C-alpha cells in the first residue's frame, strides 16, 4: 500500500453529521471502479466545519483540500482528476495555507486531522510520546515544576494553575492507614471529559482526533504524582469519542505504553473510560467524583479538596481534557516554549470553539490575546444567517452574554473577568438580531432547574423561582417589582450556592438584563 495514493477524510462527529461517511464510501467505491489504488485514511477534523466533509489528497507539496465534498460530488472530482490535485470548483488549495488554519497557533491540536488517531505508530511518527519519554527520565517533582513553569491553567473553565494542583497531590501522603510499608497509598488521575457546555466541542474533537495525547498526558500526570490508576469520565452524549478512546487505550496497552511497566520503565499506569449518564452537574469536579464512585452526582463541600481527599477518599488530580492533552507538548518542548505564547497571566494557547450562528464555525487554537471581534468576523466570517450579530455567549450556559460594545475584549482570563464575563472552556456562541434575550435569560434559569443536583437550596429552588419571575416580567405582571425580585434572587443564587451551577446561572441572566434591557421592557 505504500505507493497507493493517500486520501484523508475526517471521522469527527461533526464531519459525520455532515455526511463524511457517505463521502468516504463513495471515494473508496469510485476508486475501485476506476482501478485507482487509494489508501483512505480516516482522521480527526481540521476544525473548519463549513468545509466538511473535507477531503485531502497527499501531494509532494503537502495536502491539497477539497470541500465541502458531498457523496454526489465524488464522481465529478475523479473526472476532474482530483487524485492528481487537479483544479475543481471545490478545490481549496493546500490545507495548511487556508488562512483560517494558517493563522492559528496549534499546540495542543497540532496532530488533530493529520493521521489515523488510533494508531500508536502514527502518533509516534508525528511527535507523540516524546513528552512521556522525557518525563520517565525525570523526578516527579521536576515534572510538576515543568508544568507549573509553563503557566498552564485549567482549561475546563476554572483556570486554576495545573502544576499547583499536581504538587498538592504529589505531596499528599494519602491515607496512612492503607499504606503498608514501602507501598504508598493509592492516588488517582481523573480526566474530566464531561464537556457539557453548549458551544464547546474541543474536548470531543481532541478525544476523537488525537486521543493518545490525552492518554499520554494522563500517564505523565500519573508518573509525576505517583498515581497508578487513571479514569476518563466521559459524557454519554459522546459515543464517537467513547469508541475512539477505548480503541486508543487498547492500542496503547498493546504497544506497552500503559500497564504494569510503562515503556519498560518499571512504572505502572492503568487507564479506563467511565461513562456519565446525562447530568450536566457531573462536569463539576466533586459531583464527577461521586458519580465515578457509583453515586448520584451531587456536589461535595470543599474543603477537603479533591487533591487531598478525592476519588474514594484518596488524593486525586482532576483535570480537563485539554489541560491534560497540553502536557505532552510542555514536557516535550519545555515549559518556556509553551509559556512564550499568550499574554499576562494567561500563558500558552486556547483551543477556541466558534459555535452558533456563524458562517465559519470551527476550532481555532490561538495564543491568548486574540480579540473576540477578530474571532467572530475574521475567523467566524460573521453570522450564518447574514443578519447582524447581536449577542455572544462565552463560556457555556453559565457564561455572560456580551453585547457588540464588548467585542474588543481579548481572550485572556483576566480581561474577561474585568467585563463581568468568563472565558470558561473557550466556547463562543453567536446570536443574530432575531434573538430574544428575555427568552435566553429564562432558558438559563430553566437549564439550571433541569440540571441542579438538588443539594443546596438557592440553586434547586432559586432556578425554578427564576423561571416564574421571568415569566411574570414577560407577561407584564408588576414589572418593576418583579425585576427587583429577579435581581435579589440572582444575588442569593450567586452568593448562596454551593457550586458554580447555582453560583453562575445569574451571569447570563444579569448580563442580559444589563446589556439588553429593551428585551425586558413592556411589549406592544
Partner 1 sequence: MAAQPLPLDPPRRRPAAADPAANLAPAVADAVKAAIAANRTRPGALMPVLHAVQDALGYVPSDAVPLIAHELNITRAEVHGVISFYHHFRSAPPGRHVVQICRAEACQSLGARALEAHAKQTLGIDFHETTADGAITLEAVYCLGNCGCGPSVLIGADELHARVTPERFDALMQRAREATS
> Considering only CA atoms, which of 292, 311, 345, 286 is closest in space to residue 498?
286
Out of 10, 162, 291, 349, the residue judged to bind partner 1 by CB under 8 A:
291
Q: Work out how close the CB of 278 gets to partner 1 at its nearest, in angstroms, rounded to a whole number.
A: 4
Nearer Cβ to partner 1 (128/380): 380
Out of 355, 376, 402, 411, the residue judged to bind partner 1 by CB under 8 A:
355
- Assess 429 for contact with partner 1 (CB under 8 A): yes
Question: Which helix (H) or strand (E) is 352 found in, with range?
Answer: strand 349-356
Nearest-angstrom CA–CA distance, 32 and 432: 46
- Assess 388 for contact with partner 1 (CB under 8 A): no
Question: Which helix (H) or strand (E) is 414 found in, with range?
Answer: helix 413-418
Q: Work out how close the CB of 325 gets to partner 1 at its nearest, in angstroms, rounded to a whole number.
A: 16
| Rg of the chain in Å (alpha carbons) | 24
Out of 117, 154, 174, 196, the residue judged to bind partner 1 by CB under 8 A:
196
Q: Give how many residues touch partner 1 by CB under 8 A.
A: 60
- Assess 178 for contact with partner 1 (CB under 8 A): no
Q: Work out how close the CB of 231 gets to partner 1 at its nearest, in angstroms, rounded to a whole number.
A: 9
Nearer Cβ to partner 1 (36/247): 247
- Assess 285 for contact with partner 1 (CB under 8 A): no
Nearer Cβ to partner 1 (4/250): 250
Question: In what side-by-side order are the strands of the sheet with 349-356?
Answer: 362-367, 349-356, 427-432, 389-394, 401-403
DSSP code per residue over 221-232: HHHHHT--EEEE
Longest C-alpha distance within the chain, in Å?
A: 77
Nearer Cβ to partner 1 (120/423): 423
Helix axes 321-333 and 140-150, enclosed angle (nearest 10): 100
Nearer Cβ to partner 1 (95/393): 393
Nearer Cβ to partner 1 (217/361): 361
- Assess 509 for contact with partner 1 (CB under 8 A): no
Q: Work out how close the CB of 274 gets to partner 1 at its nearest, in angstroms, rounded to a whole number.
A: 7
**Which 254-283 residues touch partner 1, going by CB under 8 A?**
274-280
- Assess 238 for contact with partner 1 (CB under 8 A): yes
- The DSSP letter of residue 265 is S
- Assess 109 for contact with partner 1 (CB under 8 A): no
Q: Work out how close the CB of 507 gets to partner 1 at its nearest, in angstroms, rounded to a whole number.
A: 13
Burial of 357 (0-12, 13-18, 19+ CB in 10 A): buried
Out of 26, 195, 332, 365, the residue judged to bind partner 1 by CB under 8 A:
195
Out of 190, 212, 308, 354, the residue judged to bind partner 1 by CB under 8 A:
354
Let me know: does 353 contact 426? Beta carbons within 8 Å: yes
Nearer Cβ to partner 1 (217/427): 427
Q: Work out how close the CB of 475 gets to partner 1 at its nearest, in angstroms, rounded to a whole number.
A: 19
- Assess 430 for contact with partner 1 (CB under 8 A): yes
Q: Where are the beta strands (DSSP E) in 443-524?
A: none
- Assess 424 for contact with partner 1 (CB under 8 A): no
Burial of 437 (0-12, 13-18, 19+ CB in 10 A): buried
Q: Where are the beta strands (DSSP E) in 288-332?
A: 316-320
- Assess 519 for contact with partner 1 (CB under 8 A): no
- Assess 510 for contact with partner 1 (CB under 8 A): no
Measure CA of the first residue to CA of the last residue in the chain; give whole Å. 69
- Assess 361 for contact with partner 1 (CB under 8 A): yes
Let me know: does 155 contact 350? Beta carbons within 8 Å: yes
Q: Work out how close the CB of 297 gets to partner 1 at its nearest, in angstroms, rounded to a whole number.
A: 7
Q: Work out how close the CB of 196 gets to partner 1 at its nearest, in angstroms, rounded to a whole number.
A: 6
Q: Residue 246 has which C-alpha cell? A: 477505548
Out of 56, 432, 507, 519, the residue judged to bind partner 1 by CB under 8 A:
432
Half-sphere exposure of 386 (CA within 13 A, CB side): 0
Q: Residue 337 has which C-alpha cell? A: 516554549
Q: Residue 332 has which C-alpha cell? A: 516535550
**Which 391-420 residues touch partner 1, going by CB under 8 A?**
393, 397
Q: Residue 465 has which C-alpha cell? A: 423561582
Nearer Cβ to partner 1 (330/364): 364
Give every CB contact of residue 233 below 8 A, 6+ residues apart in sequence: 190, 191, 192, 193, 194, 274, 276, 282, 288, 291, 292
Q: Where are the beta strands (DSSP E) in 368-479?
A: 389-394, 401-403, 427-432
Binding residues (CB under 8 A) for partner 1: these are 13-14, 16-18, 49-50, 195-201, 203-204, 236-240, 274-280, 291-297, 312, 353-358, 361-362, 384, 393, 397, 427, 429-432, 435, 439-440, 443, 447, 450-451, 453
Amino acid at each position: 500500500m505504500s505507493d497507493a495514493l493517500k486520501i484523508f477524510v475526517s471521522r469527527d462527529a461533526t464531519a459525520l453529521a455532515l455526511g463524511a461517511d457517505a463521502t468516504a464510501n463513495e471515494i473508496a467505491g469510485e476508486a475501485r471502479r476506476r482501478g485507482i489504488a487509494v489508501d483512505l485514511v480516516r482522521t480527526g477534523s481540521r476544525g473548519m466545519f463549513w468545509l466538511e466533509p473535507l477531503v485531502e489528497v497527499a501531494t509532494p507539496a503537502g495536502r491539497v483540500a477539497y470541500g465541502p465534498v458531498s457523496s454526489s460530488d465524488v464522481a465529478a472530482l475523479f473526472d476532474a482528476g482530483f487524485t492528481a490535485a487537479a483544479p475543481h470548483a471545490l478545490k481549496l488549495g493546500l490545507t495548511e495555507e487556508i488562512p483560517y488554519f494558517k493563522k492559528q497557533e496549534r499546540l495542543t491540536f497540532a496532530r488533530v486531522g493529520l493521521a489515523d488517531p488510533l494508531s500508536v505508530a502514527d502518533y509516534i511518527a508525528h511527535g507523540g510520546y516524546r513528552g512521556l519519554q522525557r518525563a520517565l527520565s525525570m523526578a516527579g517533582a521536576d515534572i510538576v515544576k515543568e508544568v507549573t513553569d509553563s503557566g498552564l491553567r485549567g482549561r475546563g473553565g476554572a483556570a486554576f494553575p495545573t502544576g499547583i494542583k499536581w504538587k498538592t497531590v504529589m505531596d499528599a501522603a494519602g491515607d496512612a492507614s492503607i499504606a503498608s510499608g514501602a507501598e504508598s497509598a493509592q492516588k488517582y488521575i481523573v480526566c474530566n471529559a464531561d464537556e457539557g457546555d453548549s458551544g464547546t466541542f474541543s474536548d470531543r474533537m481532541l478525544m476523537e482526533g488525537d486521543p493518545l495525547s490525552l492518554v499520554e498526558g494522563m500517564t505523565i500526570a500519573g508518573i509525576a504524582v505517583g498515581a497508578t490508576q487513571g479514569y476518563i469520565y466521559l459524557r454519554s452524549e459522546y459515543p464517537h469519542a467513547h469508541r475512539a478512546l477505548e480503541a486508543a487505550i487498547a492500542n496503547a496497552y498493546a504497544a506497552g505504553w500503559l500497564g504494569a511497566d510503562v515503556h519498560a520503565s518499571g512504572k505502572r499506569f492503568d487507564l479506563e473510560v467511565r461513562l456519565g449518564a446525562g447530568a450536566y452537574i457531573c462536569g463539576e469536579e466533586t459531583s464527577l467524583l461521586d458519580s465515578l464512585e457509583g453515586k448520584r452526582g451531587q456536589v461535595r463541600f470543599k474543603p477537603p479538596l479533591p487533591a487531598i481527599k478525592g476519588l474514594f477518599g484518596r488524593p486525586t488530580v482532576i483535570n480537563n481534557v485539554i489541560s491534560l492533552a497540553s502536557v505532552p507538548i510542555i514536557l516535550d518542548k519545555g515549559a518556556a516554549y509553551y509559556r512564550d505564547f499568550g499574554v499576562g497571566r494567561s500563558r500558552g494557547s486556547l483551543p477556541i470553539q466558534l459555535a452558533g450562528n456563524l458562517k465559519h464555525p470551527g476550532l481555532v487554537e490561538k495564543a491568548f490575546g486574540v480579540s473576540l471581534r477578530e474571532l467572530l468576523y475574521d475567523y467566524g466570517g460573521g453570522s450564518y444567517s447574514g443578519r447582524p450579530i447581536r449577542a455572544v455567549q462565552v463560556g457555556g450556559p453559565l457564561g455572560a452574554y456580551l453585547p457588540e460594545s464588548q467585542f474588543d475584549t481579548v481572550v485572556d482570563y483576566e480581561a474577561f473577568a474585568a467585563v463581568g464575563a468568563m472565558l470558561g472552556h473557550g466556547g463562543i456562541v453567536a446570536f443574530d438580531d432575531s434573538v430574544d434575550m428575555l427568552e435566553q435569560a429564562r432558558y438559563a434559569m430553566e437549564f439550571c432547574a433541569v440540571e441542579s443536583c438538588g443539594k443546596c437550596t438557592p440553586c434547586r429552588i432559586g432556578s425554578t423561582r427564576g423561571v416564574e419571575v421571568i415569566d411574570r416580567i414577560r407577561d407584564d405582571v408588576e414589572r418593576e417589582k418583579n425585576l427587583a425580585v429577579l435581581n435579589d434572587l440572582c444575588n442569593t443564587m450567586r452568593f448562596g450556592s454551593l457550586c458554580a451551577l447555582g453560583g453562575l446561572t445569574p451571569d447570563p441572566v444579569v448580563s442580559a438584563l444589563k446589556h439588553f434591557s429593551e428585551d425586558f421592557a413592556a411589549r406592544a
